[in-house]
Structure 1
Amino acid sequence: MAIPILSRITALFNNNPFFIYAVTWTTIVTLTVAVAAFAPEIAFVWAVSPPAPLTRACWDHTVGLPMDGPAWEKVCLPAKNFGQSKADVFIPPVFAVMVVVGSISVMKAIGLWEGEEEEDYYL
């Protein structure tokens, strides 16, 4: 026995290819936001984690942070200085909104929203 909701969803996708298009682009934008939001955070966490070469070169209870300049130049700071701040609540959502707006702007600039029918009206 098939689930009625599943059959309705299947019929919706089969009868209207616009939903497949919308789901595809929503997925692409969501993955873009996820990668753009988490890549810098993952890189930073890896750089300051205990097995990282920068942190291994420091003393106990300190974190090595990379500096501008030659490779592996670092500064060792006490680990107690690193914690969550009030800005951590607001910065990620603002950054995510900026990435979504940027993604939509790129798609609009490329012309992904334009259909072939629209061009005929302007000729």
Structure 2
Amino acid sequence: MSLWFSNFFRLHFPTSWPILTYATTWIMLLTMTVAIASISPQVTFVSAISPASLFSQKCTNDGFIRMPLDVPGEILCFPSHLFVKSKIDFIVPPIFAALIVAASTCLVRAVGLFVET
């Protein structure tokens, strides 16, 4: 993807903008990394609790919810009052996204994938 994007800019823009080309390419790569890292846990959780999933079976007690955990063979039911939205639900995803961007940037710098001028 980045090679195609970089070649596209080289063909359609003057050759005096190589830094802009590389910066745009890396910004797109980092943005896609953040998007995949942020959305994949949510997609996994939603698919685990969808009606087609084995986790969507009802618990025997009323007022309990079956939740997917890392224990595949056991049925774990929790009281439904434990699962309510809180104010921290609005804070955690942006912080997680910022950490992913910072980690991606550190990885790019550590591997040496940058342009020297």
TM-score normalised over the length of structure 1: 0.69
Supply the distance in 1 between the matched residues of 2:30 and 2:58 (Cα, whole angstroms). Answer: 40
Name the structure 1 match of 2:5: none
**Structure number with higher helix proportion:** 1
SS at match of 1:74: coil
Report the Cα distance in structure 1 between the residues aligned to 2:13 and 2:53, rounded to whole angstroms. Answer: 50
| Aligned residues: CA RMSD | 2.4
Letter in 2 for 1:23: T
Identity of aligned residues (%): 35
Matched, 1:42 2:49: no
Structure 1's consecutive aligned runs of 4 or more residues displaced over 6 angstroms after TM superposition are none
**1:58-85 residue CA offsets vs partner (Å, 9 max, x unmatched):** 357753213444x242312354543321
Shift of 1:38: 0.9
Match of 2:67 in 1: 65
CA contact (8 A) 2:58 2:65 kept: no
Aligned mates of 2:70, 2:32 — CA distance in 1: 31
SS in structure 1 opposite 2:78? strand
Q: Greater CA deviation, 14-23 or 35-44?
A: 14-23
Is residue 59 of structure 2 the alignment partner of residue 53 of structure 1? no
1:15-66 superposed Cα distances (whole Å, 9 cap, x missing partner): 2132221111111000100111111111112212333211125357753213
Aligned: 1:107 with 2:108? yes
Largest Rg, 1 or 2 = 1
Count of residue pairs the alignment pairs up: 104
Secondary structure in 2 aligned to 1:66? coil
Structure 2 runs not aligned, ≥5 long:
1-8
TM-score, length basis structure 2: 0.72
Give the equivalent residue in structure 2 for 1:75: 76
Give me the whole-angstrom Cα distance separating, in 1, the residues matched to 2:59 and 2:25. Answer: 47
8 Å Cα contact 1:67/1:73 also seen in 2 = no
Decide whether aligned partners of structure 1 residues 76 and 53 sit closer, same or farther in structure 2, where only a CA change above 3 A counts.
same
Alignment deviations for residues 64-121 of structure 1 (CA, whole Å, 9 cap, x no partner): 213444x242312354543321111110011011000000000000111252x6xxxx
